[in-house]
Chain A
Amino acid sequence: MSHEHTHAAVIGGGSWGTALAHLMAIAGVKVKLWMRSDERVAEINTSHTNSRYLRDRPIHPGVEATTDLRSTASFAETLIVAIPSSEFRSVAFEIGGCVSGDQILVSATKGFEAEHLTRMSQILREETCCRKVGAISGPNLADEVMDHHPTATVVASPMEEVVEKVGLLLAGPTLRVYGNHDLVGVEVMGALKNIVAIAAGVCAGMGYGQNSLALLLTRGLSEISRFGEALGADRMTALGLAGLGDLIATCASPLSRNNSLGRKLAAGMTLADAQADTVKVAEGVNTTYAANKHASRLGVDMPITRAVNAILFEGHKPAEMLVKLMARANRYEHNDVPIDAPRSVEGSVIDTALSVAARNRGW
């Protein structure tokens, strides 16, 4: 499909925003990339690189960087917003002043607003008049995307129009697109997997091998999918590209910023030092705080998140938290009931009598 008359914009010139603009330009879409820094705008428009985030990787010359939000917003039919979650709302508010109801707004940020656990697409809804909103998520490490390694992403929206239009903008020889109507699930999984990624980084940093990583990933997936369900997500989404897919990529790759943050913590760095050590924002830090804050309200037990939260914000040592996690009661895999918990008495009268008798004998 020809995209020569299609106009799109990416709001946010970090590594993932730049990579998305680059992908669309390759497909023939006219793309504007909005960012605040004049210096970086000049660099992208003249030398076609974004050295701060993507080192010397060449960016397609069709990408036009700009600092003018109003002209960017009115230029594009579709806007992809890739701004760190902490600044997402203020930028969305600015976007809200320049868009109309026919435009499509899609979030490419994986995170929550901690106070009310607000998802990024909800912020787009709240701060703008746009209703054609969605999210992009999946195993998409920006560096690998820029290097054209084959991968896939999920475009999620309750509206088919959004899935179709955004899907066609992004799909190319190295990127497959899958659609999903479960916007809640895709966003929640994309955000929460960063918690597990930090834990995986800690685990690797402590020198543990694949068994430990597999344990962490599986139980991590289990707790984040329970959390997702409590928020209304579809359990199947947790097993898709935006859930398991992204989890594998982030936990296995040292390129992941959350993973590398975990490694630094394991090496004894404080959170402040680890964050100061990189220019990229590790969204998992904010997400851990948000998820931990809301887990009990939602009635979801999240031991790994609690442990990561304790390491990040309460000054606990990784080794200490690991001992705690391993000392937890052994449980049934699917319902989390401790294997030595007293059984509830059920069944026929005779079954009940026998069970009670056995219990009285110490069984």
Chain B
Amino acid sequence: MQNALRDAAIVEVRSRVLEACLMQSQLPDGMPLDVLVNDTLYHERKRLEVDRKSTTWAEDLSFWDTIKNRLGRASDNEIKDILKSVLERFTEEIRGNFNPVLYNIATRVLPRALPMLLNAMSPKRLLQRGLPDISDTVRIQGNIQAIKRMNELGTVILTPTHVSNLDSPVIGWAIYAMGLPAFTYGAGLNLFSNPVMSLFMRNLGAYRVDRNKTAPLYKDVLKEYATVSLELGQPNLFFPAGTRVRSGKVEQRLKLGLLSSGLRAYVNNLLKKKDKPNLYIVPCTLNYHLVLEAETLIEDYLQREGKARYIILDDESTRARKILNFTQNLVNLEARITVHIGDPIDPFGNQVDPQTGASIDRHGREIDIQRYVTDRQGVPVHLPQRDRVYTAEAGESIAREFLKHNVIVSTQLVAFTLWEMLRHRHRELDMYRLIRTGDEGAGTSANILVERVLRVWQALKARDVKGELHLEEGVVQSGDAAAIVQTALRHFGTYHAKPVLARRGDRVFSEDMKLLFYYSNRLRGYGLEKELESVLKEVS
């Protein structure tokens, strides 16, 4: 967001939140201002007890100590002032920065600097090894024309899937490469911890989101910031999954908090009778052959879901080595990161005509969406409970679009096939035991694996034709199962601490069951397991 616009947004957010606090405090069942400030103080002090690594820890502590002292003897008017200074502190922290010069540099340097941005690796060392160019590696496809058109007709909210910390820079790059203006987005504080990353994040239009802050007032400020920026016509980027998805699945349970900002901004736009009141949500998927953080993500998932049934087996490996392998893999294997832009939808989850921007029903009939939010006299009104339902429905539409625009790559296809084969072969084991014991060193015949991959591919192809998913261009699209298996094996062998799969003689061995499970999960949600049960169950 341009700086002038950003400053206007900050002022607007403060005044709106303050006004809302005052108004609700007048209500019989509202929260009095002193209780509100105390509640925020409580959440912040609780955070500071554990969040000692925060770079602003000492500063925060002293701020909240002062607030505590002032609160003790404050009159009603002073409480209002205290609230104002709390809001000021929150908004200042969130504040992004936009430097057009730096933006241009960033987008030019970003592709090469990307591995460096993943912190943990010293720039010097990386330079000695040589830098890959991500611009050759990110493939942008899908409904690019529609997102550009929506950007002309109204304000766009881009909602990508989220599997890796690489997602923000990759999507930032994709936005630039498509010729769109910089998008505003809320990035977790961890992405700001590296000074290089921080510089780029700020200048790519990011504002700071501290996930450790649990005070409801802070969340209101964040949400209102997104709302106001949308009302100012600033395109936004939300990751509706909230955090990186742990299981490797295409996320289906979305967080709706920020998404509801879209609908609220739309109603405000109508109330202000804006020329272009419409907001368009554009879901998109990011697809990697290998996911940088796959090991830690799936570990986290298994621990959380499996609890006592899952025992952690620690395998140490250095982070720097991982990143180097990852980037070399991108270069050597011409692995591509696919960004697939989906079809636009409105804040109610309806489809949108990609040319006119009008909302349409399933039969192509145009919908007057204003009427969803207007009262009997045709005046737009905010009704939070109603709007939550609308937003939940928009979330369902996004989740459906995610599945529809998921791009299946070779590693996922092969992992799915082998995982299902192993699951059937060892059906007496529960998932956690299967992960621990693996296929007991027996391996699987490569020929049979190729044959089964072909059967899974055929089921996927049928869905691809129906528009239910996409197959990656190139080897996966070709349907040459032997080549698909070979490509997957090459990828799997290059980066992870242990190769996910390895071929020895005419047999294929799964070396890391957790990762096999992780990569297989990307194909869940299409009913393939049931459809192919008899095929994958055959003795191999």
Q: Show the binding face of A for B, using Cβ within 8 Å.
A: 77, 93, 96-97, 100-102, 126-129, 131-132, 158-161, 297
Contacts of B363 in A (CB 8 A): 93, 96, 127
**Contact assessment for A158 and B392 in the assembled complex, using a CB-CB cutoff below 8 Å:** yes
Nearest Cβ on chain A to B277's Cβ, whole angstroms: 15
Contacts of A132 in B (CB 8 A): 386
- Please tell me if B368 contacts chain A, counting CB pairs below 8 Å: yes
Chain B residue with the shortest CB-CB distance to A77: B376
Contacts of A160 in B (CB 8 A): 385-386
**Docked pose: A93 CA to B361 CA in angstroms:** 11
**Overall SS of chain A's interface:** loop
Contacts of B362 in A (CB 8 A): 126-127
**Contact assessment for B393 and A161 in the assembled complex, using a CB-CB cutoff below 8 Å:** no
**Contact assessment for B361 and A161 in the assembled complex, using a CB-CB cutoff below 8 Å:** no
Chain A residue with the shortest CB-CB distance to B374: A102
**Docked pose: A102 CA to B359 CA in angstroms:** 15
**Docked pose: A161 CA to B530 CA in angstroms:** 40
**Contact assessment for B372 and A102 in the assembled complex, using a CB-CB cutoff below 8 Å:** yes
Chain B residue with the shortest CB-CB distance to A159: B389
Chain A residue with the shortest CB-CB distance to B366: A129
**Docked pose: A159 CA to B391 CA in angstroms:** 12
Nearest Cβ on chain B to A89's Cβ, whole angstroms: 12
**Docked pose: A97 CA to B361 CA in angstroms:** 10
Number of B residues near A (Cβ < 8 Å) is 23
Supposing A102-B372, A161-B386 touch, asked if A131 and B393 sit within 8 A by C-beta, the answer is yes
Nearest Cβ on chain B to A157's Cβ, whole angstroms: 8
- Please tell me if B350 contacts chain A, counting CB pairs below 8 Å: yes
Nearest Cβ on chain A to B244's Cβ, whole angstroms: 26
Which of A96, A131, A132, A158 has the most C-beta atoms of chain B within 10 angstroms of its own C-beta? Answer: A131
Supposing A102-B374, A129-B361, A131-B393 touch, asked if A159 and B367 sit within 8 A by C-beta, the answer is no
Supplied contacts A96-B365, A129-B361, A160-B386, 12 more A-B pairs, CB within 8 Å? A100-B368, A101-B371, A101-B372, A127-B363, A129-B350, A131-B389, A158-B389, A158-B392, A159-B386, A159-B389, A161-B385, A161-B386
Contacts of A126 in B (CB 8 A): 362
Interface code B332-353, partner A: CB below 8 Å = 1, 0 otherwise?
0000000000000000101000
- Please tell me if B390 contacts chain A, counting CB pairs below 8 Å: yes
Chain B residue with the shortest CB-CB distance to A158: B389
Contact residues of B between 357 and 382, Cβ < 8 Å to A: 359, 361-363, 365, 367-372, 374, 376
**Contact assessment for A102 and B361 in the assembled complex, using a CB-CB cutoff below 8 Å:** no
**Docked pose: A140 CA to B374 CA in angstroms:** 34
Contacts of B348 in A (CB 8 A): 101, 131
- Please tell me if B383 contacts chain A, counting CB pairs below 8 Å: yes
Contacts of A101 in B (CB 8 A): 348, 367-372
Chain A residue with the shortest CB-CB distance to B372: A101
Contacts of B365 in A (CB 8 A): 96-97, 129
Nearest Cβ on chain B to A125's Cβ, whole angstroms: 8
**Docked pose: A158 CA to B361 CA in angstroms:** 21
**Docked pose: A158 CA to B376 CA in angstroms:** 21
Chain A residue with the shortest CB-CB distance to B362: A126
**Contact assessment for A100 and B385 in the assembled complex, using a CB-CB cutoff below 8 Å:** no
**Contact assessment for A297 and B361 in the assembled complex, using a CB-CB cutoff below 8 Å:** no
Interface code B392-408, partner A: CB below 8 Å = 1, 0 otherwise?
11000000000000000
**Contact assessment for B530 and A297 in the assembled complex, using a CB-CB cutoff below 8 Å:** yes
**Contact assessment for B361 and A131 in the assembled complex, using a CB-CB cutoff below 8 Å:** no
Nearest 6 pairs between A and B by C-beta?
A101-B371, A101-B372, A102-B371, A129-B367, A100-B371, A158-B389
